[in-house]
Structure 1
Amino acid sequence: MLITIIILVLSAVFFVNGKIRSDLVALCALVALLIFQILTPDEALSGFSNSVVIMMVGLFVVGGAIFQTGLAKMISSHILKLAGKSELKLFLLVMLVTSAIGAFVSNTGTVALMLPIVVSLAVSANMNPSRLLMPLAFASSMGGMMTLIGTPPNLVIQNALTSAGFPPLSFFSFFPVGIICVAVGTLVLLPLSKWFLSKRGKNGEDNVHSGKSLKQLVKEYGLSSNLFRLRVVGDSRLHGKTIIELDIRRKYGLNILEVRRGDMSQHRFLKTITQKLADPGTVLQKEDILYVTGDFEKIKLFAEDYLLEMLDEHTTEEAKNSANSLDFYDIGIAEIVLMPSSNLINLTIKGAGFRDKFNVNVLGIRRKKEYLLQDLGNERIHSGDVLLVQGTWNNIARLSKEDADWVVLGQPLAEAAKVTLDYKAPVAAVIMVLMVAMMVFDFIPVAPVTAVMIAGILMVLTGCFRNVEAAYKTINWESIVLIAAMLPMSLALEKTGASEYISNSLVSELGTYGPLALMAGIYFTTSLMTMFISNTATAVLLAPIAMQSATQIGVSPVPFLFAVTLGASMCFASPFSTPPNALVMPAGQYAFMDYVKVGLPLQIIMGIVMVLVLPLLFPF
C-alpha cells in the first residue's frame, strides 16, 4: 500500500512540475507498479484496451474529419452570428451549447464534437482558443449532471440505490443539480479563464513558415478576378477533344487552369468531386467544368465558338464562398523563386519544361513589383523571378527537391493539409448525427465505443480525409498514452486497499459531526481521489461507503450518493481526472498548472455550493 501511495504522490509531483512530458510520467508510474509487482502485466496494460481509451482514439478521428471537411467552420459561423463580436456572448454560448449536448451525449463525445467547432469559432472571432477550450471541457462535465445518462457516475449511484431496495431515480432527477452546476461554473469560469487562459498558446507557431496562404496567393496574382467557368454541354464541340487539340492559348490567349469533373459512378457517396490539372492530353467529357482565365471578351468568343455554357459573368476574389471560386482539393499552387545560378535563366517558360518534367503549369510571374499573367509561354525567365506554379500537391512537393535552380516558398504540403474538403461536409454531418443517435437512444443496441469506431471508420472510407495518414495525424497520442497508463493506477489503489483505507479513515472521523459534515467529507474525499484515478472508478469505490454511512446514522442516502457523483464528475484540477480534460490539453497548449490555477478554485467553490444545496434539494 505504501509503495502505491508513494508512486502516486511522485507522479502528481512530476505532473505539477511539468518539466517531463505527462505521458512519460504516466508510463514511468506504470512501469514502477510492474517492477514492484503491485500489478500483473495484464492488469498494467489493461488501460490500453479500455473502452474509454479506444473511444478517445475514435473521437480524435471524428473530430478531425469535422474540422477537415469544414463542417466545424459552418456550424461555428452560425454560432458566431448569434454572438456577434462580443467575447462574453461567445463564451456564454459555448458554455450553454456544450452543457445542453453534454446532458444527452457522453462528456467525451461532447468535447470531441465541439472541440473543432470551438477552435474554428475562436479563430473566426480573433480570440485565443485556449480561452474557450478548458471551459468547454468543464461545461461538458457540468451538462452531464442534468440527466441520468449524462455521465457514468450517475448510473453508478442509481445502481447503488436500487441494489439497496430504494426506488430508482428518474431520467431528470439530476436536472436541478445540473442547472446549478452550469450556473456556478459559468460565473466562476468567466473571470478565471480571462485571467489565466487568455495568454496561453500565443507563441507565434502559426507564423513559423514564411510562405503565403493560398488565399493570399490567389488575391495577389488576381487569379479570381479574371476566372470564369465554362460547362461542356451535350452538343458542345469540345466533347471528346483533348486540350492540346484546342490550342486555346494561341487562338484566344486563354489559359485553362483546371477541369472539374463530377463523379458519375454509382459510388457518389464515396467521392463527389474530381479535380484534374489541365494536361494537354486531358480528354474533355460531357458536364466537365473548365476553369479558364483571360479576357472576358475572348472567353465569350471561345464559349460561342465551341457551344459552351457560361456559368458566371464575372468572378472576383470576394466571391470566395461561391461555387466558381478556386478550390485546392487535389491540385494546388505555390511560389518558387529562381536562384541567381539557375540553369533556367534566359529560357522561355515553355522551354524550361515545367510541364514535361514536373507536370506543373506556370500561372504567373512576379518580377519585382510587376505581375505577368498573360502569354507566358514565350516569356523569358530572369534572375530573381518568382513563378506561381500549379499542379497536384505531390508534384508541387517534388519541386522542393530540385533546390539547385529554385527554392519553393513556404510549406505547400502544410498548406494542402489546411484545405477543407467542404464538399464532404454533408457526409461528415450525417455520420456525426448517426454517431450521436447511437449514443443517445437505448433502443439502438450499439455500445458508445462501437458507435465511435463505426463513425471514425466511415469518416475515412467516405473520403472526409485526404488519405488514411491524415486521419492518423489527428490522433494526439500523448493524451491517449497518458489516460491509458493512468487508468491502472485506480486498480492498484483498490487492489492494495489504499483507496478503502483513505476513504474509511476520512469518513469515520467526520461521522460524529452530523450528516452535513459527513456528506461534505464524502464529497471532498471523492473529489480528491478523482484527481488521481478515473471518476467512474472513484464513484464505484465510494458509492457503497456513502450508502453505508448514511444508513448507520439513520438518514436518507440520496444526498450522500449525489455527493459521490458530483465529487467524481466535478473534478477540474487535473488534466487526467476525466477524458474531456485530457482531450483539450494539446489543442489549448495547457500545462498541468493551468488546470490547477483555473480548475482548483472552481472545484472548491463548486464543492462548497453543492454541499449547501444538496440537503435543500434532497432532504436528509
Structure 2
Amino acid sequence: MVLTLVILAVTALFFAIGKIRSDVVALCALILLMVSGILTPDEALSGFSNSVVIMMVGLFVVGGAIFQTGLAKMISGRMLKLAGNSELRLFLLIMVVTSFIGAFVSNTGTVALMLPIVVSLAAKSGVNASRLLMPLAFASSLGGMLTLIGTPPNLVIQDVLTSAGYEQLDFFAFTPVGLICIVIGIIVLLPLSKWFLAKKGEGRDNEKRRTKSLEELVEEYRLADNLSRFIVGKNSGIKGKTIAELDIHNRYGLTVLEVRRETTRQKGIIKNVNQMLAGPRTVISEGDIIYLSGEKEQADRFADEYSLTVPEAGSSGLSANQGGLDFYDIGIAEMVLLPTSSLVNHLVKDSGLRAKFHINIVGIRRNGEYIMDDLPDVRLHGGDVLLVQGTWANISLLGNEEDDWVVLGQPLEEAAKVTLDYKAPLAAAIMLLMIVLMVFDFIPVAPVTAVMIAAVLMVLTGCFRNVEAAYKTINWESVVLIGAMLPMSVALEKTGASAAISHSLVSGLGGYGPFVLLAGIYFTTSLLTMFISNTATAVLMAPIALTSATEIGLSPYPFLFAVTLGASMCFASPFATPPNALVMQAGRYSFMDYIKVGLPLQLVIGIVMVFVLPLLFPF
C-alpha cells in the first residue's frame, strides 16, 4: 500500500512539474506498478481495453469528421450570430449549450461534439481557443448534474439508495443542484479563464503561419476574376467529346481548370463530388460542371455555341465559397523555379509537368507581375514562381524534385484544412444517430457501441478524404494518458489504500457534526476522483456515506449527493475525467493549468454545496 501511494505521489509531482510529457509519465507509473508486482500485466493493460478509452478514440474520429465536413463551421457560424461581437455572450453561450447537452449525453460525448465547434467559433471570433476549451470540458461535467442519467455517479447513488430501501430519486431530482453548480461554474470560470488561459499558445500559430492559404492564393492570382462555370445539359454539343477535340484554348483562349461531377441521393443527405483535372483525354458527360478561366466574353460565346447553362444560386455545381474554386480533390500550390532548373528557357507547353506529374500551370509570378494569359506559350525563367494545379496527391509528389524547383509552404497542411462541406448533411445525420443511440435507454446499444458505429460510418461514407485522415484526428497522447492511469485505481483498491483513506477520514469526522462530516465526504470523494475514475470512486464512497449517515441518525440523501458531486465535479487534474483529457492538447494545457483553474472551482463548489445540500435535502 505504501509503495502504491509513493508511486502515485511521484506521478502527481511529475505531472505538476510538466517537464516530461504526461503520457510518458503515466506509462512510467504503469511500468513501476507491474515491475513491483502490485499489478499483473493483464491488470496493468486493462485500461487500454476499457470502454472509456475506446469511446475516446471513436469520439476523436467523430469530432474530426464534424470539423472536416464543415459542420462545425456551420454550427459555430450560427452560434456566433447569437453571440454577436461580445466575448462574454460567447462564453456564456458555450457554457449554457454545453451544460444542456451534457444533461442528456455523456460528458465525454458532449465535449467531443462541441470541441470542433468551439475551435471553429474561436477562430471566427478571434478569441484564443484555450480561453474556451477548459470551460467547455468543465461545463459538460456541470451539466451532467442536471439529470439522473447525466453522469454515472448519479446512477450509483440511486442504486445504493434503492438497495437500502429508501425512496428512489426522480429524473430531475438533481436539477436544482445542477443549476447551482452551473451558476457557480460561470461565475468562477469567467475571471479564472481570463487570468490563466487567455494567453495559452499565443504566438505559436503565427510562427507556423508561413504558408499562404488557398483563399489568399486565389485572391493574389485573381483566379476568381475570370472564372466561369457552366453545366453540360442534355442537348449540349460538347457531350461525349474530349477536351482535345474541343480545342478550347486555341479557339476561345480559355483554359479548362476543372470538370466536376456530382451525385445526390437520399434527398440531398448523401452527396458525392468528383473533381477531375481537365486533360486532353477527359470526356465530357451530361451533368458535368466545367470551370473555365479566361475572358468572360469568350466564355459566354463558348457557352452559347454549345448550349451550356449557368448554374443557379444554390443549385448543384455552385461553389461553396460563392465565388471561386473548391479544393476537395484538386488543389493549388506555389513553387519557385531554380536558376539551374532544366525547365528554364522552355515553353510552359513543353515543360512536361502535365505528362510527368499531371499538373497544370495556371499562373506565373515574375518580378512582382502576374502572367495569367496565353500561358502555354510563355517561356520559363529562373526565379519564376509557378502557381500549379493538380490533385493533392500529385502536388505532394512535386517535393521530390528539389533539383528543379522548391515547393513553397506546406500545401498538404492547407489541403487538410479544406472542408468537405457537401458531406455536412451526412455527418449531421450520423451525429444525430449516435446521440439518439446514446440517449434512449430502450435502444439496446451501449454508448461505446454507438460511438464506434458513428466513427466507422464517418469513414465509410467519405466524411474524411481517406482512412489516414481519420487516424490523424485521434489525439494519442490523451488516449495513452487515460489508458495508463485507469489501472491506478485498480492498484489503489487492490492494496486497500483507497478504502483505508476513505474510512479513516470519514469515521474521524463523524463526531464533529453533520456539516463537518458532509464536507469530509465531499472532499474525500473529490480527492480520490483525481486518481480513480469517478464511477469507481462513487461505488467506493456511496456505501460509506450511507452507513455514516445512518449511524448518527441522519438522512443519507445529502451525504450521497455529496458523493456524486465530489465524484463528478473533479477539475483539478487532466486525467480525472475523459473530458479534461480530451481538451488538454487542443488547448495546449499543462497539469498546472488544471490546478490554477480547476482546483478553485472544485473547492468553491464543495464549500457552497456543504451549506446548500442540507437546504435542498434536510438532515
Q: What TM-score comes out, normalization by structure 1 length?
A: 0.97
In the alignment, structure 1 residue 164 sits paired with structure 2 residue 175? no
Output the CA distance in 1 between the equivalents of 2:229 and 2:608: 63
Q: Kindly report the root-mean-square deviation, in angstroms, between the aligned alpha carbons of the 2 structures.
A: 1.5
Output the CA distance in 2 between the equivalents of 1:258 and 1:286: 15
Per-residue deviation at 1:25? 1.0
1:603 aligned counterpart, secondary structure: helix
Question: What residue in structure 1 maps to residue 406 of structure 2?
Answer: 407
Contact residue 209 and residue 411 of structure 1 kept, 8 A: no
Q: Map 1:190-205 to 2 at 5 A.
A: 190-205=190-205
* Count of matched residue positions in the alignment of Structure 1 and Structure 2: 615
Question: What residue in structure 2 maps to residue 231 of structure 1?
Answer: 231
1:568 aligned counterpart, secondary structure: helix
Aligned letter for 1:425?
A
2:365 aligned counterpart, secondary structure: strand
Output the CA distance in 2 between the equivalents of 1:616 and 1:320: 59
Per-residue deviation at 1:2? 0.7
Aligned letter for 2:168?
P
Output the CA distance in 2 between the equivalents of 1:266 and 1:531: 47
Deviation per CA, 1:217-263, whole angstroms, max 9, x where unpaired?
00011111111111110111101000011110110001110000013
Contact residue 228 and residue 312 of structure 1 kept, 8 A: no
Contact residue 229 and residue 324 of structure 1 kept, 8 A: no
2:537 aligned counterpart, secondary structure: helix
Deviation per CA, 1:189-210, whole angstroms, max 9, x where unpaired?
0000000000001132454263
Aligned letter for 1:582?
A
Question: What residue in structure 2 maps to residue 357 of structure 1?
Answer: 356
Aligned letter for 2:51?
S
Output the CA distance in 2 between the equivalents of 1:265 and 1:514: 67
Output the CA distance in 2 between the equivalents of 1:582 and 1:478: 9
Question: What residue in structure 2 maps to residue 122 of structure 1?
Answer: 122
Question: What residue in structure 2 maps to residue 431 of structure 1?
Answer: 430
Question: What residue in structure 2 maps to residue 316 of structure 1?
Answer: none
Contact residue 118 and residue 133 of structure 2 kept, 8 A: yes
Output the CA distance in 2 between the equivalents of 1:515 and 1:249: 88
Deviation per CA, 1:120-162, whole angstroms, max 9, x where unpaired?
0000001100000000000000000000000000001001101
Per-residue deviation at 1:324? 5.4
1:136 aligned counterpart, secondary structure: helix
Distance 1:266 1:87, change over 3 A: closer
Contact residue 223 and residue 324 of structure 2 kept, 8 A: no
Contact residue 212 and residue 410 of structure 1 kept, 8 A: yes
In the alignment, structure 1 residue 153 sits paired with structure 2 residue 129? no
Question: What residue in structure 2 maps to residue 23 of structure 1?
Answer: 23
Range moving further from structure 2, 131-140 or 402-411: 402-411
Aligned letter for 2:246?
L
Question: What residue in structure 1 maps to residue 50 of structure 2?
Answer: 50
Q: Map 1:64-213 to 2 at 5 A.
A: 64-205=64-205, 207-208=207-208, 210-213=210-213
Question: What residue in structure 1 maps to residue 590 of structure 2?
Answer: 591
Contact residue 337 and residue 406 of structure 2 kept, 8 A: yes
Deviation per CA, 1:321-357, whole angstroms, max 9, x where unpaired?
4555310011100011111111211111001111111
Output the CA distance in 1 between the equivalents of 2:389 and 2:432: 37
Gaps of 5+ in 2: none
Aligned letter for 2:400?
K
Question: What residue in structure 1 maps to residue 254 of structure 2?
Answer: 254
1:231 aligned counterpart, secondary structure: strand
Question: What residue in structure 2 maps to residue 301 of structure 1?
Answer: 301
Per-residue deviation at 1:38? 1.2
Output the CA distance in 2 between the equivalents of 1:542 and 1:266: 51
Deviation per CA, 1:522-566, whole angstroms, max 9, x where unpaired?
000001111111111111100000000001000100000000000
Deviation per CA, 1:155-177, whole angstroms, max 9, x where unpaired?
01001101101111010000000
Output the CA distance in 2 between the equivalents of 1:312 and 1:497: 71
Question: What residue in structure 2 maps to residue 281 of structure 1?
Answer: 281
Per-residue deviation at 1:264? 7.2
Per-residue deviation at 1:305? 1.1
In the alignment, structure 1 residue 9 sits paired with structure 2 residue 9? yes
Deviation per CA, 1:398-454, whole angstroms, max 9, x where unpaired?
111111111111111111111101100000000000000111111111110000000
Question: What residue in structure 2 maps to residue 371 of structure 1?
Answer: 370
Range moving further from structure 2, 64-73 or 333-342: 333-342
Aligned letter for 1:97?
V
1:272 aligned counterpart, secondary structure: strand
Contact residue 271 and residue 463 of structure 1 kept, 8 A: no
Per-residue deviation at 1:270? 6.2
Contact residue 337 and residue 387 of structure 1 kept, 8 A: yes
Distance 1:265 1:500, change over 3 A: closer
Per-residue deviation at 1:267? 13
Range moving further from structure 2, 424-433 or 380-389: 380-389
Contact residue 103 and residue 145 of structure 1 kept, 8 A: yes
Output the CA distance in 2 between the equivalents of 1:550 and 1:84: 50
Range moving further from structure 2, 42-51 or 426-435: 42-51
Distance 1:383 1:267, change over 3 A: farther
In the alignment, structure 1 residue 36 sits paired with structure 2 residue 36? yes
2:375 aligned counterpart, secondary structure: coil
Contact residue 229 and residue 312 of structure 1 kept, 8 A: no
Distance 1:95 1:269, change over 3 A: closer
Range moving further from structure 2, 323-332 or 479-488: 323-332
Output the CA distance in 2 between the equivalents of 1:310 and 1:116: 35
Percent of residue pairs bearing the same amino acid type:
69
Output the CA distance in 1 between the equivalents of 2:364 and 2:397: 20
Aligned letter for 2:13?
V
Output the CA distance in 2 between the equivalents of 1:359 and 1:322: 26
Aligned letter for 2:6?
I
Aligned letter for 2:169?
L
In the alignment, structure 1 residue 520 sits paired with structure 2 residue 515? no
Contact residue 320 and residue 421 of structure 2 kept, 8 A: no
Gaps of 5+ in 1: 314-318
Contact residue 242 and residue 283 of structure 2 kept, 8 A: yes
Q: What TM-score comes out, normalization by structure 2 length?
A: 0.97
Deviation per CA, 1:73-112, whole angstroms, max 9, x where unpaired?
0000000001111111100000000000000000000000
2:585 aligned counterpart, secondary structure: helix
Contact residue 137 and residue 581 of structure 1 kept, 8 A: yes
Output the CA distance in 1 between the equivalents of 2:519 and 2:120: 40
Output the CA distance in 1 between the equivalents of 2:332 and 2:468: 22
Question: What residue in structure 2 maps to residue 336 of structure 1?
Answer: 335
Aligned letter for 1:170?
D
Aligned letter for 1:64?
G
Per-residue deviation at 1:269? 6.7
1:46 aligned counterpart, secondary structure: helix
